[in-house]
Structure 1
Amino acid sequence: MSERSAGTGNPTRWVTDTGPEHSQWYVDRFRRLAAEGADLAGEARLLDTLVPPRSRILDAGCGTGRVGAELAARGHTVVGVDADPVLIEAARADHPGPRWLVGDLAELDLAAAGVVEPFDAAVLAGNVMTFVAPGTEATVLRRVAEHLRPDGVIPVGFGTDRGYPLADFDADVATAGLRLEHRFATWDLRPWRDDADFAVSLLRRPA
């Protein structure tokens, strides 16, 4: 995430809640996990079941590109966006193929970067919604939704103990013009329960 968000001058939580070396630590961590054979594709497997083959997918807050890269390997066309240039540099180095762009989700305008065709789906994994600047959550969801075709799906996952209450998220979903269809406790679809420490919400842009 970048230092600024939504043109307001507000720093993102990625900046305020982490130290200056956090981005490189994050890159190194996921490179190590990949080298150790850790399963890093759970989010991609779920989204792959929700869309037709060869779909266009927006990886919003793509980080180092692990989700988008797996989706591309499954035959989808992927564009990944993250505000942190360190993470985007790692994605380009480690996962050539998808298009990786530096950009703030609260100001998302892919047409300005020459990406004009709408997407069939988007994914916000890796606690993305808890790292955007406070007060921009509904704007982020709306900007992402505007890049989807009608009836496009958006899986969103984040920890419920990270300072962004689910009640606030649900209100932001409605403000963004999206519909909550399903909620689970994990990316492998364990049943939702009120005391779960993680939530995976499947959102839909109305047709």
Structure 2
Amino acid sequence: MVEPSLWMQKVAADPNHSQWYIDRFRAMARDGADLAGEARMIDAMVGRGAHILDAGCGPGRLGGYLGAAGHRVVGVDVDPALIAAAQQDHPGPRWLVGDLAELDLPARGITEPFDVIVSAGNVMAFLAPSTRGLVLSRLRAHLAEDGRAVIGFGAGRDYSFTEFFADAAAAGLTPDLLLSTWDLRPFAEDSDFLVAVLRAE
């Protein structure tokens, strides 16, 4: 049994945490906030109808946009409440409850590898530290030969970018492009956010 994610530890400590998160994003959507910046970048990377994994999909804002844009999307999240919200708010993609550290989609009937795997919303920082390398290995195992993984998270979350790069390399992922924002600004040594576009070695 893998160590529970920091997210699920928060949920265990506060059973209302998931609903608060769902309500927060629903309110932002009602207010007209732009919640699709990450998804637009992913959409621009692939042709129409791409097979995309939203790893740590939360309530589905990213995968929902990509599904509506014509891609074949699978979203996976460890929190059943978030998956239920994704199913309600964004019908179309296939939404699954699952721990990324134990990701085995062929066992669930999804055998086609993914053209792009995206993990946005600081998912990497919400993983249990002992599972970070394992999660990257599981993502690598689901990636098409010429596919790319796109992972974004902020600094100051007890997972340094240096540690992340080392874990990614150990998992067989190498950087293609490093950005500091989802709107394509270059990454620098003092950047406080990382968007890493990785390919399989």
Q: Which structure: greater helix fraction? A: 2
CA contact (8 A) 2:155 2:193 kept: yes
The Cα of 1:47 is off from its aligned counterpart by 0.8
Task: Write the letter of the residue equivalent to 2:72.
Answer: T
Query: 1:143-182 alignment to 2 at 5 Å?
Result: 143-182=138-177
In the alignment, does 2:58 pair up with 1:63?
A: yes
Structure 1's unaligned 5+ residue stretches are: 1-6
Partner of residue 23, structure 1: 18
In the alignment, does 2:124 pair up with 1:141?
A: no
The Cα of 1:15 is off from its aligned counterpart by 2.8
Rounded to whole Å, the distance in 2 between the matches of 1:141 and 1:102 is 18
Rounded to whole Å, the distance in 1 between the matches of 2:94 and 2:77 is 11
Rounded to whole Å, the distance in 2 between the matches of 1:28 and 1:34 is 10
In the alignment, does 2:35 pair up with 1:35?
A: no
Rounded to whole Å, the distance in 1 between the matches of 2:188 and 2:115 is 29
Taking structure 2 as the reference length, the TM-score comes to 0.95
Partner of residue 13, structure 1: 6
Decide which of 189, 196, 205 is 2:191's aligned counterpart: 196
Partner of residue 107, structure 2: 112
Partner of residue 3, structure 1: none
The Cα of 1:17 is off from its aligned counterpart by 4.7
Rounded to whole Å, the distance in 1 between the matches of 2:66 and 2:9 is 31
1:119-145 CA-partner distances (Å, limit 9, x unpaired): 111100000000111121111011011
Structure 2's unaligned 5+ residue stretches are: none
- Percent same amino acid among aligned pairs? 57
Taking structure 1 as the reference length, the TM-score comes to 0.93
Count of aligned positions: 199
Partner of residue 125, structure 1: 120
Partner of residue 73, structure 2: 78
Rounded to whole Å, the distance in 1 between the matches of 2:144 and 2:176 is 17
Rounded to whole Å, the distance in 2 between the matches of 1:111 and 1:191 is 36
RMSD, matched Cα: 1.1
Rounded to whole Å, the distance in 2 between the matches of 1:182 and 1:116 is 27
For 1:135, what is the secondary structure of its paired residue?
helix
Task: Write the letter of the residue equivalent to 1:76.
Answer: H
Rounded to whole Å, the distance in 2 between the matches of 1:97 and 1:16 is 30
For 1:93, what is the secondary structure of its paired residue?
helix
The Cα of 1:48 is off from its aligned counterpart by 1.0
CA contact (8 A) 2:56 2:100 kept: yes
